[in-house]
């Protein structure tokens, strides 16, 4: 695995590039798309030695442990679900934010730094057959809650 | 134990990136910007007096760390090296909100720096 600093710096530059090119300051879809494509490919590689997962909870657990470990060097700190297709993954020391600020400072830039990861998770799940919507919220830097919402009719 | 007075960080263009002080009792009576310019200009000519010691550390990229302490301090090179790698690189260089051609305005960086100085075994107020 390459030194994490390469990922950190490249990610920060991608964010800066997208931020400068965007016309509306709410349009982060290109970051999400880049994340999706990366996630789709990463999961292919990470699961190559794994048996097939038996259900969707097992897949989400894989994301929280092995996937997060491979990408961010730690596991998700807390996983919650309402058993109706909503999963909340909480990372208290999110690597894309933990160098920026602590508490409420720079809170308005947080979406720029978690959108790639939302796409990453969405892409990973998509390649495992789970189609969903991924959002995130930040109340206190550098802690993030990722919300994974599966459509109601999803098995 | 060493009394640590203050710290200046300059980039390779001579811009004052950060200033912090801990046990400084005498103020210069001029603005911080002016004082920093004087400090930068004096770097190569100033010598330690019996009242205080000035420690200087420069990285290969030209970032300069200037730390004033009381005269009991020995060599602080290792200390400033650690300050660079553990605080400056981690929370300023790797922080996308910090522009290293401008003075650093970031609470996390200031807090980490303060904790590093106060948490060091040398620090005494």
Residues of B in contact with A15 (CB under 8 A): 96
CA distance, residue A143 to nearest chain B CA (Å): 14
- Chain A residue with CA closest to B91: the answer is A99
List CB contacts (< 8 A) between A106 and chain B: 97
User: What ipTM goes with this model?
Assistant: 0.72
How many residues in total does chain A contain? 155
Side-chain-side CA neighbours of residue A94 (13 Å) = 30
Q: Do A113 and B95 touch (CB under 8 A)?
A: no
Closest Cβ–Cβ partner in B90, B94, B97 for A106: B97
Partner-chain residue, chosen from B90, B94, B107, that has the shortest CB–CB distance to A101: B107
Kindly tell me the burial class for residue A117, based on how many C-beta atoms sit within 10 Å of its own C-beta (0-12, 13-18, 19 or more).
buried
pLDDT digits (tens, 9 = 90+) for A21-79: 877 767 889 999 999 999 999 999 999 888 999 999 999 999 999 999 999 999 999 99
Please tell me which residue of chain B has the smallest CA distance to A17. B96
Determine contact: B38 vs chain A, CB below 8 A: no
Show pLDDT as tens, one digit a residue, over chain B (125 residues).
Answer: 778 889 999 988 888 999 999 888 888 888 888 888 888 887 755 555 667 788 999 999 999 999 988 888 888 899 999 999 999 999 999 999 999 999 999 999 999 999 999 998 888 87
Domain positions in chain B:
2-124
Cis amide linkage into residue A28, ω under 30° from 0: no
pTM of the predicted protein model: 0.79
Closest listed residue to residue B65, CA positions, set B52, B79, B75, B51: B79
Yes or no, beta carbons of B96 and A101 under 8 Å apart = no
Tokens read off for A78: 């807390």
- What is the CATH code for B2-124? 3.30.450.70
Residue B2 pairs in a beta bridge with: B123
Any chain A CB within 8 A of the CB of B91? yes
């Amino acid at each position: 695995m390459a030194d994490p600093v390469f990922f950190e710096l490249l990610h920060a530059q991608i964010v800066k590039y997208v931020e400068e090119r965007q016309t509306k300051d709410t349009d982060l879809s290109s970051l999400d798309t880049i994340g999706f494509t990366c996630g789709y490919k990463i999961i292919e590689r990470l699961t190559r030695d794994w048996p097939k997962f038996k259900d969707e909870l097992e897949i989400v657990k894989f994301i929280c442990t092995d996937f997060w470990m491979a990408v961010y060097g730690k596991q998700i700190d807390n996983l919650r679900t309402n058993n109706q297709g909503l999963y909340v993954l909480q990372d208290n020391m999110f690597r894309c934010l933990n160098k920026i600020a602590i508490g409420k400072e720079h809170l308005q830039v947080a979406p720029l730094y978690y959108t790639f990861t939302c796409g990453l998770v969405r892409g990973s799940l998509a390649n495992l057959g789970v189609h969903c919507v991924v959002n995130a919220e930040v109340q206190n830097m550098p802690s993030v809650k990722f919300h994974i919402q599966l459509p109601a009719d999803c098995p | 134990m060493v009394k640590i007075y203050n710290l200046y960080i300059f980039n390779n263009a001579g811009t004052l990136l950060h200033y912090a002080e801990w046990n400084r009792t005498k103020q210069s009576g001029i603005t911080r910007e002016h004082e920093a310019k004087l400090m930068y200009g004096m770097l190569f000519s100033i010598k330690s007096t019996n009242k205080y010691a000035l420690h200087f550390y420069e990285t290969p990229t030209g970032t300069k760390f200037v730390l004033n302490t009381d005269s009991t301090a020995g060599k602080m090179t290792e200390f400033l090296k650690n300050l660079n790698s553990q605080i400056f690189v981690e929370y300023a260089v790797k922080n996308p909100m910090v522009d290293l051609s401008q003075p650093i305005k970031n609470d996390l960086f200031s807090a980490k720096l303060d904790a590093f100085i106060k948490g060091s075994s040398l620090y005494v107020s």
